[in-house]
């Protein structure tokens, strides 16, 4: 038994989306979601920058929270720095986020899949490697949407349903025009609009994300390594963010909505 926290790490609020799914199935585990507010956004940074940033923050995360496992709930950080972080911190199990290319390929009847991500994720050779491995006959339509990550990070809590639908619908329309019948949400911020994406896509297009897959992987490591919590009660979840005070109002609104304790890290 191990009562140390499970930690989900992202450049901003994206890790919270993934952490919420894990928490819904693991209430007795301590959960910390860390958002690197000071360095947001990650998707426009180079591989070298992200390695430097994520290494420094992982050191801080270990010193402050001593997690038993860390999930990098960020595609840009995962494709850029996962191998480096695993080598740098061999005693900490680290789970990376892999865009859900395989299920999208398997579901595509037109053999045309869309990938909605950030500049860093979409430009990484790993995307093409995944497609070649799982669907070499597929055409890939990639759209980089840094403005969508910005919208979700700063506007999601205040935007009304019409605005959210309009935003999601604009990307679905672009993918539809290019012939895609499956779309991968390759940024961990984007599942905050999952319902809107699916509503805009209708029956003609399927939307995929990696939220459940990451929960499954974290849970499997907890079981295999004997790291399950010994607590018999529901644990408080924490949202820890970097940067200076004052925190923007949406942080309190967001964490309050989901019952997380907000801390400045």
Annotated catalytic residue 187: yes
Sheet holding 237-241, edge to edge: 94-95, 69-72, 6-10, 31-35, 237-241, 260-264
Annotated catalytic residue 74: yes
In the set 17, 33, 138, 187, the catalytic residue is 187
In the set 17, 33, 74, 138, the catalytic residue is 74
Catalytic center residues: 74, 187
């Amino acid at each position: 038994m191990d009562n140390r926290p499970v930690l989900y790490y992202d450049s901003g609020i994206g890790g919270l989306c993934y952490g919420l799914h894990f928490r819904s199935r693991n209430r007795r585990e301590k959960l910390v979601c860390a958002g690197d507010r000071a360095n947001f956004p990650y998707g426009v940074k180079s591989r070298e920058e992200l390695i430097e940033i994520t290494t420094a923050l992982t050191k801080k995360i270990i010193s402050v929270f001593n997690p038993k496992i860390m999930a990098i709930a960020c595609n840009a950080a995962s494709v850029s720095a996962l191998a480096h972080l695993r080598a740098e911190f061999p005693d900490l199990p680290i789970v990376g986020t892999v865009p859900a290319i395989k299920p999208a390929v398997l579901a595509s009847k037109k053999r045309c899949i869309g990938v909605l991500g950030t500049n860093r994720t979409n430009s990484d050779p790993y995307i093409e490697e995944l497609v070649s491995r799982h669907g070499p006959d597929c055409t890939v339509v990639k759209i980089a949407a840094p403005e969508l990550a910005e919208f979700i990070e700063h506007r999601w809590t205040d935007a009304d349903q019409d605005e959210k639908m309009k935003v999601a619908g604009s990307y679905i329309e672009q993918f539809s025009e290019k012939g895609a019948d499956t779309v991968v949400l390759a940024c961990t911020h984007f599942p905050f609009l999952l319902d809107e994406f699916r509503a805009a896509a209708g029956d003609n297009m399927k939307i995929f994300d990696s939220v459940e897959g990451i929960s499954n992987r974290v849970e499997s490591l907890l079981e295999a390594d004997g790291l399950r919590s010994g607590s018999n009660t529901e644990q408080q979840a924490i949202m820890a963010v970097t940067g200076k005070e004052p925190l923007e109002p949406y942080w309190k609104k967001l964490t309050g909505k989901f019952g997380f304790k907000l801390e400045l890290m």
